[in-house]
Amino acid sequence: MKKFGIVLGVFVVTCLIVLAIGYSVFKGNYNNFVKLSQNADSKWAQVENVYQRRADLIPNLVATVSGAANFEKSTLVEVAEARASVGKVQINSSTAPTDPAQLAQFDQAQGQLSSALSHLMVVVERYPNLTATENFRDLQAQLEGTENRISVARMDFNQAVQDYDTAIKSFPAVLFAGALGFQAKPYFSATPGAETAPKVQFNSNGTTTN
């Protein structure tokens, strides 16, 4: 009986140690998931902020450009329609998206707007009197700076999501992450030229070059 009591005691102590270790691992992983998820959400908020900044610059840019004589109105319509399409894509701004299709739709709309703006800049090069104005030059500089911020924000978001997804898919976290409500988050796919912001450089005589 005494021997049985010793064995039982060792078993109980061993179970308590295992439970303590398990709880510690569980708690550490859970807290890490929360931290990484919140970081991804924060990076997503920054993505939305810089895209919104670009959208806010467009009306002034279009108004400035449309004042040029004989400017191609179809180009302005293209930009306006692309901006409107972006506004129709609704994503919960409080957290990073979890639906890959929703993020892809958002990215496609933003890509169309980037393309329309790039086309606008190419067309503008044909109007040196317009590109020489202080108002246009200021708007162009703000737009270029915003495009650079967009590239950085997208990379930061992708890195944050990668860190989070790796954590919840690693062992032993993968065994319980889903049950705790931690689901993988999608990230932006690389697109050709996405890392380079559109640029319009000005010569001293007011004309533009690539």
Q: Could you tell me where the beta strands, DSSP code E, fall in the chain?
A: 201-202, 208-209
pLDDT category at 102 given cuts 50, 70, 90 is: very high
Distance in angstroms (rounded) separating the CA atoms of residues 51 and 147:
9
CATH assignment of the domain containing 130? 1.20.1440.20
In this predicted structure, which of 83-87, 144-148, 156-160, 190-194 has the lowest mean pLDDT? 190-194
Q: List the helix and strand counts (H, then E) for the chain.
A: 5, 2
Residue 12: count of CB within 10 angstroms of its CB: 10
Q: How many CA atoms lie within 13 A of 34 on its CB side?
A: 7
Q: What is the pTM of this model?
A: 0.79
pLDDT score at 200: 38
pLDDT score at 23: 59
pLDDT score at 179: 86
Domain that holds residue 87: 2-209
Distance in angstroms (rounded) separating the CA atoms of residues 188 and 185:
10
**Of residues 167, 189, 190, 191, the one with CA closest to residue 178:** 167
Distance in angstroms (rounded) separating the CA atoms of residues 154 and 179:
29
Number of domains in the chain: 1
Q: Is residue 62 within 8 Å of 139, Cβ to Cβ? A: no
Q: How distant is the alpha carbon of residue 121 from its chain centre?
A: 24
Phi, psi of 170 (to 5 degrees): -85, 155
- Residue in the block written with tokens 């020489």: 132
As a whole number, mean pLDDT of residues 89-108 equals 88
**Of residues 94, 92, 90, 91, the one with CA closest to residue 38:** 94
Q: Is residue 30 within 8 Å of 167, Cβ to Cβ? A: no
Terminal-residue alpha carbon distance, the chain: 91
Identify the helix (H) or strand (E) that includes residue 37: helix 2-66
pLDDT tens by residue, 150-182 = 999 999 999 999 999 999 999 888 888 888 889
As a whole number, mean pLDDT of residues 123-146 equals 90
For residue 172, cis peptide bond before it (omega within 30 degrees of 0): yes
